[in-house]
Chains A and B, each alone.
Chain A
Amino acid sequence: MITISHLTKSFTDPDGSVLQVLKDVNCVINPGEVITVIGPSGSGKSTLLKALNLLDPPTGGSIIFDGEDILAKGYPVHKMRQRVGMVFQDFNLFGHMTVLENVIYAPCKIKKMDIAQAREMGLTLLRKVGLMEKADAYPSSLSGGQKQRVAIARCLAMEPEVILFDEPTSSLDPTMVGEVLSVIRHLAKDGMTMLIVTHEMKFARDVSTRIFYMQDGVIYEDGTPEQIFETPRRSATKAFVQRIRKAVFEVGSHDFDFLNMESHIRQFCIKYNIAEKSDNALVLCKKVVRNIMSDYFPMTIRITHSELSEVTALDFMVENLDKSPLEGADPARVEEIRSLCHKIIEEPTSRGFRVKLLI
């Protein structure tokens, strides 16, 4: 239905610097698919969506919609948009119209639908999103969740073939997220083709037929929800879905500013709500660096924490090394460390060798 190839989008600042948001996006969207787009902020998710219906036209590449190149000169963009609906993060309801008018305005004006008929259709749609009673209210009197449901009804009124959801729950109170997601779930059940940008991981996993993980302006990984959430092929995807946080320190020699590292680790632990682990982490760091691996400079120390699995790990990585530094170390000291953590993993990496302590 929609084929996107080599799509790029860059913004030029007034000072001349160019920011490339979409670098090379390629994908095919088939009818009936529910695709959620996830990824860290700034990875180009929303930009991709707005590039798709040309609200923010791409700077390169091609988009084929229904066999036609929509980036071709003279292509009737508004005609395409009538078939590709969009739901915005901030709802963008028309403030000067009632809820019902919001829903039926476009069909009346664009499709020249008869007003009585449009009212009937509008009320049906409002019932579908549970807002029949609010038909004559103005948007300003609605809650965020209600507004977003009206926006969905407004979008449905044009009977689109695809709906693009641009972070539909991001400006809602946590208490209202559920009502909007449930409406989207219903649409998914009805077989509506949708492309949803969201930060709601559980929702993405439940509702999607496919997931795009976006990072650095490309679709970094594309797969089924099971694949993306359980067996991601790429480490960045894994880091994202498991919500892995990290801090990295390059230690050149004994003269490294360990005090500074200490305070950074403490801050890290406080930030991710694992303050109780910070003392242990610092003791382990000190013991490994001073007693066990004192001959292995330069090394990289990394602390990681998965917010999903709540596992915290300390990594000590040395380049160009093919056997574990623990092998030649004093077994008593290694045993001491083993007693301070859950598990020690010794593994070679592409560049050297890593000792991982799970705490």
Chain B
Amino acid sequence: MKRVLLLALYVLAICSCAGKSNDKSGIELHDETDLAGLRVATQSGTCYELDLSSRNDIELQTYNTESDVLQALINGKADVIVNDEVIYNAVTRRDNGVKIAMLGEKTFPTGFLFRRDDRYLAQAMDAVQQRMVADGTMQGLKEFWLTDAFAEAGEYVHIPEESTGTPLRVATSTMSAPISFQVNGEWYGLEIDIIRELGKALNRPLEIKAYEMASGILAVKTGQADIMCGCVFITPERKQEFLFSEPYHYYRPAYFVIDEEANFDHDGSLFAWLKNSIRRNLILEGRWKYIVDGLLKTIKITLLSILFGSLLGACIYQMSRSRRRWMRSFAHFYNSFIDGIPDLVLLLIMFYIVFADSGISSDTVAIVSFSMFFAASACGIYRSSLAAVPPGQMQAGLALGFTRVQSFMHIVLPQALRHGLPLFKAQCITLLKGTAIVGYIAIQDLTRAGDMIRSRTFDALIPLLVVTVLYFLLAWLLGLLLNLASSKIKVL
């Protein structure tokens, strides 16, 4: 039955994707006034968003990543998308059947963002940029990265790390070429190369993590990162709160539309298209490694959170039954507090406030947050399943001559487990699915792995499908494991 369902889902997804079309055909753009009445999609946190938000004659859509923006155009949710001229390069445009309709009139300054009191690092960056401009390295980098030539080349120079100092923590909001992107676990791109020069000058190795734009900026503010890159536009508003290095480039927006003449079906067959898609999304550049790493990360966070959450939950449950009033109040407060806030908000609070600047890894922060979450549910499960065992059972055990501990372990617990295990199982699976939000604090879990592949290939179907199937299998396995555990409970 499960197989049939899966197959149905698969076929449905392929059909919906293969039949991608856009009814608004033949959009002609000459200048920005032509945008009137169109659905325009752009990336949040960019200058283009800011620029277009003042226009009320267009329907503006904002998405978090470049790939989401492109997907909006391909799927017909938007008529036009606007982004950096360079971001969807020749290869990407050809593979996805989009083209540049026109270039924007204005250009926007782009630089690196630093904490306001980190004047030293900002000035060091300025010095590095000045040197690079003077000796021509900047020009060389731009000529390589900002033309379509690099994309056609498909090969990048890997510069090995030699620095030994404290790591320079880099937050990047872009996982797309040519700004900053990953291949086989290594970071490449124009901005990455510039920051590498800074690292070399300061003798500090780079520690790069991918954030969404808003979370990344917050990470710099709260001290989780030292420098933010990924096409960060220099706006007056940001300048009030942060320091910027001198702009290294002025980006020009480009307006992309569906290319009517592009031949989608390549060689026509669905199977060939699928094969190519799988190759691009999973095989090329070892992209399946993201999935494997993400999968392991998701498993690690889930299992450890279940373990610690169960233990913490037992403590909270004990407190809730304590004779001391303050302990009961604490347990009550804890449970209602955790029940009352979304898990994402708790995660962000833990990351940006509680553990800000504490040097604790984001994996640990995630495990702590999810353990806290799980503890509240576990506490409720303990309470309801122990309450389901009549108090007479304990008494009968004691009356037969068992000690309190024996009576609990041999008589009460097995019966409580029968009530509690199905609830526990459901909660574990909820937790597993809940961990999909750890991408917000720059952890590359299974969901994030799919996102990273999407931001390189600009293809939604295969990464999402693989991620979906893996989550489904994980949930199924987890359930199986717990069922196995419960079937091991024997009386004598």
Residues of chain A having any CB pair with chain B under 8 Å: 53, 55, 78-79, 81-83, 85-86, 88, 90, 92-98, 101, 104-106, 108-110, 115, 154-155, 158
Contacts and interface: CB of A to CB of B under 8 A. Distances in A.
B401 A92 contact: no
Given A94-B411, A95-B415, A96-B418, A81 B492 contact: no
A105 B491 contact: yes
A194 B400 CA distance: 16
B491 A79 contact: no
B476 to A, nearest CB: 27
B276 interface: no
Contacts of B410: 105, 109
B392 A88 contact: yes
A82 B491 CA distance: 20
A92 B393 contact: yes
Contact of A78 (B393, B398, B411): B398
B323 to A, nearest CB: 12
B402 A92 contact: no
24 contacts: A53-B399, A55-B395, A55-B398, A55-B399, A78-B398, A78-B401, A78-B403, A79-B401, A81-B398, A81-B399, A82-B400, A85-B399, A92-B392, A92-B395, A94-B393, A94-B411, A95-B393, A96-B415, A96-B491, A108-B492, A115-B492, A155-B399, A155-B400, A158-B401
Nearest to A95: B415
A158 B491 contact: no
A12 to B, nearest CB: 13
Given A96-B491, A101-B492, A109-B402, A88 B415 contact: no
Contacts of B395: 55, 88, 92
Contacts of B399: 53, 55, 81, 85-86, 88, 155
A88 B400 CA distance: 12
A79 B400 CA distance: 9
Interface of B: 390, 392-393, 395-396, 398-403, 406, 410-411, 414-415, 418, 491-492
A88 B402 CA distance: 16
A209 B491 CA distance: 40
Contacts of A105: 410, 491-492
Given A88-B395, A92-B390, A96-B418, A106 B401 contact: yes
Given A96-B415, A96-B418, A90 B392 contact: yes
Q: Which among B400, B402, B403, B406 has the highest number of chain A CB atoms within 10 Å?
A: B400
A357 to B, nearest CB: 49
B396 to A, nearest CB: 4
Contacts of A82: 400-401
Contacts of A110: 400-402, 406
Contacts, number: 66
Nearest to B415: A96
Contacts of B414: 96
A143 B385 CA distance: 26
Contact of B401 (A81, A95, A101, A108): A81
A250 B319 CA distance: 55
Q: Which among A79, A101, A106 has the highest number of chain B CB atoms within 10 Å?
A: A106
A109 B414 CA distance: 15
Q: Which among B396, B410, B415, B418 has the highest number of chain A CB atoms within 10 Å?
A: B396
Contacts of A101: 491-492
Contacts of A158: 400-401
A92 B396 contact: yes
A81 B400 contact: yes
Q: Which 3 pairs from chain A and chain B are nearest by CB?
A: A82-B401, A92-B396, A92-B392
Nearest to A98: B491
A90 to B, nearest CB: 6
Contacts of A86: 399
Q: Which among B401, B403, B414 has the highest number of chain A CB atoms within 10 Å?
A: B401
A83 B399 CA distance: 10
A109 B400 CA distance: 11
Contacts of B403: 78
Nearest to B406: A109
Contacts of A97: 491
A97 B393 CA distance: 12
B405 to A, nearest CB: 10
Contacts of B415: 94-96
Nearest to A154: B400
A108 B401 CA distance: 12
Nearest to A164: B399
Given A78-B398, A95-B415, 4 more contacts: A81-B400, A94-B411, A96-B415, A110-B402
Contacts of B390: 90, 92
Contacts of A155: 399-400
Contacts of A90: 390, 392
A86 B392 CA distance: 12
Contacts of B392: 88, 90, 92
Nearest to B389: A95
A97 B418 CA distance: 12
